[in-house]
Structure 1
Amino acid sequence: MARYGKEHKEVTRRRIVNSAGRRLKKDGLDGSGVATLMADAGLTNGAFYAHFESKDDLIAATIADQLQQQRILLRQLAAEPDGFTRFVHGYLSPEHRDDPEGGCPSGALLDEVARSSPAIRRAYSAGILGVADDLAALMAPDAPTAGRREALGYIAILVGSLQLARAIDDPQESATVLAEAIRSISALLTTTKS
């Protein structure tokens, strides 16, 4: 019987993490078992333990990966003069609101992460602090290290507003939440630049 090489194992792990990211954001951390997560990746339960020690291990790896993807996006936007504005408008868009499984892990899972295992919380904490650093660099390219606290404040507004907009069942009121959050962030930016 031929054994798969390290490259195949990494490709398979990536497939599991990618599909788990979508499923976890759609159904929540406890909404799907290992069997469903592996089926989404086109694999059997037996393959799970070749890649992860536990479901918490998979969740931690998935959240870390999702936040790393967000960091990549922020770094790409840093090359654009209006990158921060584009990020805010994209994050607080109706499209992002209506696509939790394709969007930000914070907007979809933050309340569950807060009640999860220490390993999951550690993975999230490390990832979101990295996101905050990249967001700070996007907000103030000349002084990125001074802006982590400010960036965390903006993340709180972004995530809280997105979650509130998703929870409100009236489409117009939900859209108002998104628009007001954009207005508030713009006002804060104007105040901090003065």
Structure 2
Amino acid sequence: MRYDKEHKEQTRQRIVETASRRFREHGIEAEGVKSLMSASGLTNGAFYNHFASKEDLAREAVTAAMDERVAYLRRWIASGEGLQGMIESYFSIRHRDNPGRGCPTTVLAAEIARHSDDVRTAYTEGMLAFVELAATQWPALPADEAMSRAMSLYGLMAGTMQLARATSDARLSDRILESGRRAALAMVGSPP
């Protein structure tokens, strides 16, 4: 049975969204094609109708995850809460406890560094889009300084979340989140 182009694109999008979430939950290498396709409600034989390889899917899933984070920041800026609102949400227990829906950098950066140039480029483009958008929130600073500040903020956010997720002590994890939140708010000039 042949499906129309729209159905094929919707199926492809469903696979990418499932992979984006599951890669963040389990890691790219830990997630197999068979389990991804099953989670997408499809047979693993259908995979190659949409992707040349798992690496091809990883590139698209990383792109989707990074695009999601840029859209997330855009919503905070549009709401008028800007970086402060985004920071408050980012350093939440909800974000910490749901990596499949959160920041891909915190769970995939080390793994992405060992993937193909295509996957690394997809990540780089998404990270730069986020940082460039964040840098617009310091309009009084020279462009280079605003970019440096935005990169530092991004690193602080991702590193804090990694530490908070890695510790086995819930109270320490909460304290790490709170420390990161305060440091990030200080970087954007908001009272902690």
Q: Is the 8 A contact 1:133 1:144 kept in 2?
A: no
Amino acid at match of 1:29: I
Corresponding position of 1:30: 29
Q: What are the superposed Cα offsets for residues 19-58 of structure 1, whole Å, 9 maximum, x if unpaired?
A: 1112111111111211111111011112111111110110
Corresponding position of 2:39: 40
Q: When the two structures are superposed, what TM-score results if normalisation uses the length of structure 1?
A: 0.91
Matches within 5 A, 1:1-194: 1=1, 3-137=2-136, 139-140=137-138, 145-146=143-144, 147-190=146-189
- Secondary structure (helix, strand or coil) at the match of 2:89 reads helix
Name the count of aligned residue pairs.
189
- Secondary structure (helix, strand or coil) at the match of 1:42 reads coil
Using the TM superposition, give the Cα deviation of residue 98 of structure 1 relative to its aligned residue in structure 2, in angstroms: 0.7
Matches of 2:87 and 2:140, distance apart in 1: 20
- Secondary structure (helix, strand or coil) at the match of 1:140 reads coil
Amino acid at match of 1:36: S
Matches of 2:100 and 2:27, distance apart in 1: 10
Percent same amino acid among aligned pairs?
A: 39
Using the TM superposition, give the Cα deviation of residue 188 of structure 1 relative to its aligned residue in structure 2, in angstroms: 2.5
Using the TM superposition, give the Cα deviation of residue 150 of structure 1 relative to its aligned residue in structure 2, in angstroms: 1.8
CA RMSD of aligned residues (A): 1.8
Q: Is the 8 A contact 1:136 1:144 kept in 2?
A: no
* Structure 1 residue runs without a partner (length 5+): none
**Gap change, CA 1:16 and 1:143, over 3 Å in 2:** farther
Using the TM superposition, give the Cα deviation of residue 144 of structure 1 relative to its aligned residue in structure 2, in angstroms: 9.2
- Secondary structure (helix, strand or coil) at the match of 1:37 reads helix
**Gap change, CA 1:175 and 1:24, over 3 Å in 2:** same
Matches of 1:109 and 1:34, distance apart in 2: 18
Using the TM superposition, give the Cα deviation of residue 162 of structure 1 relative to its aligned residue in structure 2, in angstroms: 0.1
Using the TM superposition, give the Cα deviation of residue 154 of structure 1 relative to its aligned residue in structure 2, in angstroms: 0.6
Q: Is the 8 A contact 2:87 2:185 kept in 1?
A: no
Matches of 1:48 and 1:99, distance apart in 2: 26
Q: When the two structures are superposed, what TM-score results if normalisation uses the length of structure 2?
A: 0.91
